[in-house]
Amino acid sequence: MKYRNALQDSTKLPRNASIAFHIAAIITFLVYGLYRLLHDDVFLFMVFLLAILPLSISLLLEIKHLGKVQHKQFTLILVCMAIAISSYYLGYKSLIYVFPTIFIFFFIFNLQHASILSSFYALICLVTALKIESFALVWRFGVATFDCIIFAAIFAYIIAKQKDALIYLATTDELTGALNRKNLAASLSLSIESFRHTGTDSSLLLIDIDHFKTVNDTYGHLAGDKLLTQFSEVIKQLLPAEAKLFRFGGEEFLVQYENCGLEKALDMAHKLKHAVNQTRFDGVPVTVSCSIGVAELRVKDSLEEWLKQSDIALYAAKKSGRNRVVSRLDK
């Protein structure tokens, strides 16, 4: 089963850091622009305004909690355009501002896009600077610039991997490898919202290992732990990418199955039950079975009601003799 990787979502810049970056950039361009204006260079002053105006708008949005990563990305592109234009007229005096902007790419774009865009941006600035600077000087700047890109990419990769590891530790049950309940409510809420806006079906499969307490009492807690771990693996191997497996508590597991109506969910539940019946679990020399309650999402369901109906269905499955699949009972 594919869980979301932090490397795919590493463009979130903390709000306070974003505000600090905006203010630093505005002050830098304002001072540099006024300096050019004092030297009667109105054109370059206007070029720097090209950067100051979107930076100011982006800062205002950030302060009002309305900032989005797309705003920052567009603003950075305009800032880079201003620096590239000024490099054509000022040479190395503008090239020095290429270095800090390179690192910003890696804060607001993913690793691949940041590497490509920052390299393209650096190349444009270096080529335009050749108008007034010697090739030797531009070459030296180029070596230092691409060193910065390489170092920034390595740093961003390490940070993303560490973030990925922290997210995994925070959201994954240590024993079974299934997701824990930390993000369960948020995940179910997204499914409910999607269902109400787009009609995308979702279903819950609440699974309970039958007679788990007897296994613990008869074969020991280590055998019980092994059973939980292997049980989770059996379930995960059968689930498609759009299904998530949560450890709901004790010997209970919850499958959140998106793009899935009742018929499809029941079919999956029977496959899971059959797979568990056919598996020989280490340390447990008896056939293991499970009961499953299935609840498809309905229009009036709240998060609590959806979970409640899966729990009622599970209780009915256990009450009717265990090793059963029962769909929600309310009509």
What is the DSSP annotation of 47-91?
HHHHHHHHHHHHHHHHHTT---HHHHHHHHHHHHHHHHHHHHHHT
Please give the Cα distance from 268 to 262 (Å, whole number): 10
The tokens describing 193, both together, are: 């919202």
Please give the Cα distance from 270 to 325 (Å, whole number): 7
Is 251 catalytic? The answer is yes
Question: Which of 62, 133, 251, 296 is flagged as catalytic?
Answer: 251
Contacts of range 311-318, beta carbons closer than 8 Å, 24 or more positions apart: 311/206, 313/206, 314/206, 314/207, 314/208, 314/252, 317/291, 317/292, 317/293, 318/208, 318/210, 318/291
* 3-state SS record for 162-197: HHHHHHHHHHECCCCCCECCCCHHHHHHHHHHHHHH
Contact 317, 291 (CB under 8 A): yes
Q: Are strands 252-258 and 202-209 parallel, antiparallel or unpaired?
A: antiparallel
Please give the Cα distance from 115 to 221 (Å, whole number): 50
List the catalytic residues.
251
